[in-house]
Amino acid sequence: MNEKIALCVAIGCATAFAATNYDLLGRNGSKMNSPMVYRNEDYSKMKKDNQQDVGVQRGNKALKKLSSRLYWIDGLEGIFSTSGLSYNGSLLPFYCETSQSNGVHIYGYYSDLAEYLEHPNFYFIPTNLVQNYTPSGIQTSGQATFTNYTLSEPYDASSYAPTTFWTVEFGNIMANRGSIGWWFDNGYGQCQECADVGMYMDIGAFPVRLEPNKTTSYIAYNQGEAMNPDPEREVIASKAYSLLSETTKNTTFFVSNGLPENPESKSPQVYIGLHNRKNDPNVLHEAATYYGEEARALDNYIYENRTVDIVAAGNYWIRNNDAQLNAQAHAANAITVGAIDSYTGRIADYTSNKSRYCEAGIGQCLNEAEPQAGSRKPEIYNYSEFYMDGDRKRTYTHWYTGQTYNASPNYDGTEAAATYTAAQVAALLRANPFYRWHPEVVKAVLLTSGVNNIATPYPHGENNVATTKIPTYYSVVFNRFHNNYFHESRYWTGYWPWMTTHIVGMKTELRFSIKRPTDKHNFSAAIAWLSSGDDIANFGRIPQNFDLYVYENNVADVNNINNNNIINNPKAKSTSESDAFEKVSFSSNAQYLTFRIVLKDEVQNSPNASQAVLGFDLAAAN
């Protein structure tokens, strides 16, 4: 059992630094110009010895770089803390470490975001760092053309109770978007590290104003993409666009019929996807009730492109009384969102919440007596019941049948909650580019964030609720100067045995300590990880199972918990079997909090075995 070797600053260790021959970017000799810190070569030998102890020898292990998107290195670790990371008496918010193929581990602390991003940008898809970017190329779209429908004039819908975007987060006035306006919008205190983000809307229709003869702006993902929407899809697209436009800034929207190719090729880069359609008519009942082809495609897309994809859970509890999710909402890598009634603070009882996997494989679910439980869905619940202030009711009338379709100014259901969550994520990624490429960390942030508790009783069983608080702008959208809501986030990407710190029995694990902020006492911590959709489809389960443990400590030493009476009695733990995440909530006055992330088991015959894409967040409001 070995703790990580202490680190030294490159500036003060010139001779040792030269011995590594390579810096974080793989440069050597005179080309090295970054203030790096390195680990000595004894550590790499120690790591190799540990790998042999558990039967993992890198020499005969074929690495799947697709899962990590890394080149020339075997692993990458990053840390961001709103209160800073203690280093040589200073508090620096950013940290990055590489595990290189030659056995050398190199890392550095950074006070500047651009300098920090220079390094992960080299391995991941580059981030747009342009300040105060004004989108160009916005096209104006008129109404969609419907050959079978005519449109009525609007009429006043003042009977609907207005719910403004600025006060929708009920229960705590500090929780609404206005509380972060001091840096979120233009003016003094503007976020100096912000850059625009792109979001694709997989909605199958261009957004138009709900009032006839009005226009709206959008950017089509593919200019030649055919759109033949029915009235319902057009209305969903229009309401989603209206809500997004009002609740996030500096976000450019791309409209698509499906999963777009090469999201990094757009400007600004596409980091977020929103999926708020109900199941298409051609989706089989089995494919909607169980993990199917649409979920597999979305999981693979997230695994390979690292976009943060938000999916509406579906409104099937009331409609069909079977709790089936939208087809894409089964995706383990996606963030599935259920609805909160904005007036009561309770989970809307129509929210679907059951996911099932098939050990026999996709298409064989109905032949299984007891299908496997899927990862808990939804992971997140957010506000619904928005009012499209300024828009009016619109009626579509079919030219032949006379059948009408009415579009009201209200926007509710899980599709509205998913849209609102996507707006919060867009604001997070704009303010903190650290989180781009990391849907696993963003999911952990959403799980740990929240000011308002979800009101009880919970419908359909308390155990189905993954998180007990509602993510708000106040808790989710922060920068490194916004210290009211503390976050420390970490990620590990790449070859798992080279990133782990300890071996207990035959299980590998990560250990680290976080110094408790002196004014924070109530915490939530979460981990989440990505999986190949093909692996989930082929094995009928999440291929990796991680557990999370928390210990109180008065020193930073992660080995201080080795006593069996301590290590077997954590302050908090989460050890679910089928979920793609773990979450704990606890109170503490200890000087340090020590965390263990244990790889409990893994499908060994997976093509992606030993490859980890793991995220962590610790958060506290008070």
Instruction: pLDDT band for 290, please (50, 70, 90 cuts).
Output: confident
Whether the upstream peptide bond of residue 268 has omega within 30° of 0, thus cis, is yes
The per-residue pLDDT for 562 is 93
Half-sphere exposure of 239 (CA within 13 A, CB side): 30
The per-residue pLDDT for 166 is 34
Using CA atoms, how far apart are residues 474 and 452, in angstroms rounded to an integer? Answer: 11
Q: Which fold has domain 495-622?
A: Jelly Rolls (2.60.120)
Q: What is the mean pLDDT of residues 10-23?
A: 33
Q: What is the mean pLDDT of residues 303-311?
A: 95
Identify whether the C-beta of residue 200 lies closer than 8 Å to the C-beta of residue 498. no
Least confident among 30-34, 66-70, 144-148: 30-34
Q: Is the pLDDT of residue 161 over 70?
A: no
Identify whether the C-beta of residue 313 lies closer than 8 Å to the C-beta of residue 336. yes
Residue written as tokens 């550590």? 43
Structure-token pair, residue 74: 């075997």
Can you give the pTM of this predicted structure?
0.85
Identify whether the C-beta of residue 158 lies closer than 8 Å to the C-beta of residue 388. no
The per-residue pLDDT for 177 is 38
Using CA atoms, how far apart are residues 43 and 105, in angstroms rounded to an integer? Answer: 8
Q: Please, what sign has the CA dihedral across residues 560, 563, 565, 569? A: positive
Least confident among 2-11, 32-41, 353-362: 2-11
Three-point CA angle 467, 473, 475, nearest 5°:
55
Query: Position 176: which residue type?
Result: N
The per-residue pLDDT for 62 is 37
Instruction: pLDDT band for 316, please (50, 70, 90 cuts).
Output: confident
Distances (CA, A) of 291 to 203, 272, 274, 431, 606: 21, 22, 19, 34, 18
Q: What is the mean pLDDT of residues 530-549?
A: 95
The per-residue pLDDT for 425 is 94
pLDDT tens-digit profile of 576-587? 999 999 999 999
Higher-pLDDT residue of 348, 389: 348
Higher-pLDDT residue of 622, 5: 622
The per-residue pLDDT for 240 is 87
Quote the percentage of the chain above a pLDDT of 90: 35
Concatenating the DSSP letter of every residue in 461-506 gives -GGG-S-SEE--HHHH---TT--SSEEEEEEEEEEHHHH--EEETT
Q: What is the mean pLDDT of residues 482-491?
A: 86
Element (H, E) at 382: strand 380-383
pLDDT tens-digit profile of 81-90? 988 998 988 9
Average pLDDT score over the chain? 76
Q: Is the pLDDT of residue 469 over 70?
A: yes
Identify whether the C-beta of residue 279 lies closer than 8 Å to the C-beta of residue 327. yes
Q: Is the pLDDT of residue 561 over 90?
A: yes
Instruction: pLDDT band for 143, please (50, 70, 90 cuts).
Output: very low
Q: Is the pLDDT of residue 190 over 60?
A: no
**CA dihedral defined by 528, 530, 535, 540, rounded to 10 degrees?**
30
Concatenating the DSSP letter of every residue in 409-449 gives SEE-SHHHHHHHHHHHHHHHHHH-GGGTT-HHHHHHHHHH-
Query: Position 25: which residue type?
Result: L
Number of other residues whose CB lies within 10 A of the CB of residue 552 = 18
Identify whether the C-beta of residue 513 lies closer than 8 Å to the C-beta of residue 556. yes
Distances (CA, A) of 587 to 304, 321, 456, 593, 621: 37, 38, 21, 11, 12
Q: What would be the CATH architecture of the domain defined by 150-476?
A: 3-Layer(aba) Sandwich (3.40)
The per-residue pLDDT for 174 is 29
Q: What is the DSSP secondary structure assignment for residue 330, as one 8-state letter?
A: G
Q: Is the pLDDT of residue 355 over 60?
A: yes
- 3-state SS of 154-212 is CECCCCCCCCCCCCCCCCCHHHCHHHHHHHHCCCCCCCCCCCCEEEEEECCCCCCCCCC
The per-residue pLDDT for 68 is 65
Identify whether the C-beta of residue 471 lies closer than 8 Å to the C-beta of residue 444. no
Element (H, E) at 289: helix 285-289
Q: Is the pLDDT of residue 61 over 80?
A: no
Using CA atoms, how far apart are residues 376 and 439, in angstroms rounded to an integer? Answer: 17
Q: What is the DSSP secondary structure assignment for residue 367, as one 8-state letter?
A: G
Using CA atoms, how far apart are residues 408 and 188, in angstroms rounded to an integer? Answer: 39
The per-residue pLDDT for 575 is 97
Which residues have a Cβ under 8 Å from the Cβ of 420 and sit 6 or more positions away?
Answer: 168, 243, 247, 382, 383, 384, 386
3-state secondary structure of 135: coil
Instruction: pLDDT band for 225, please (50, 70, 90 cuts).
Output: low
Structure-token pair, residue 149: 């429908």
Q: Is the pLDDT of residue 183 over 70?
A: no
Most confident listed range (102-106, 502-506, 550-554) = 550-554
Using CA atoms, how far apart are residues 443 and 579, in angstroms rounded to an integer? Answer: 13
Least confident among 103-112, 152-161, 447-456: 152-161
Task: Enumerate the domain spans of the chain.
Answer: 150-476, 495-622
Instruction: pLDDT band for 490, please (50, 70, 90 cuts).
Output: very high
The per-residue pLDDT for 5 is 27
Three-point CA angle 532, 54, 569, nearest 5°:
85
Q: Is the pLDDT of residue 523 over 60?
A: yes
Instruction: pLDDT band for 489, please (50, 70, 90 cuts).
Output: very high
Q: What is the DSSP secondary structure assignment for residue 319, as one 8-state letter?
A: H
Which residues have a Cβ under 8 Å from the Cβ of 150 and sit 6 or more positions away?
Answer: 396, 397, 399
Structure-token pair, residue 344: 């009561």
Instruction: pLDDT band for 211, please (50, 70, 90 cuts).
Output: low
3-state secondary structure of 251: strand
3-state secondary structure of 388: coil
Using CA atoms, how far apart are residues 183 and 479, in angstroms rounded to an integer? Answer: 9
Which residues have a Cβ under 8 Å from the Cβ of 128 and sit 6 or more positions away?
Answer: 195, 196, 197, 267, 268, 269
Identify whether the C-beta of residue 527 lies closer than 8 Å to the C-beta of residue 546. yes
The per-residue pLDDT for 356 is 86
Cα 11–chain centre separation: 36
Using CA atoms, how far apart are residues 265 and 246, in angstroms rounded to an integer? Answer: 26
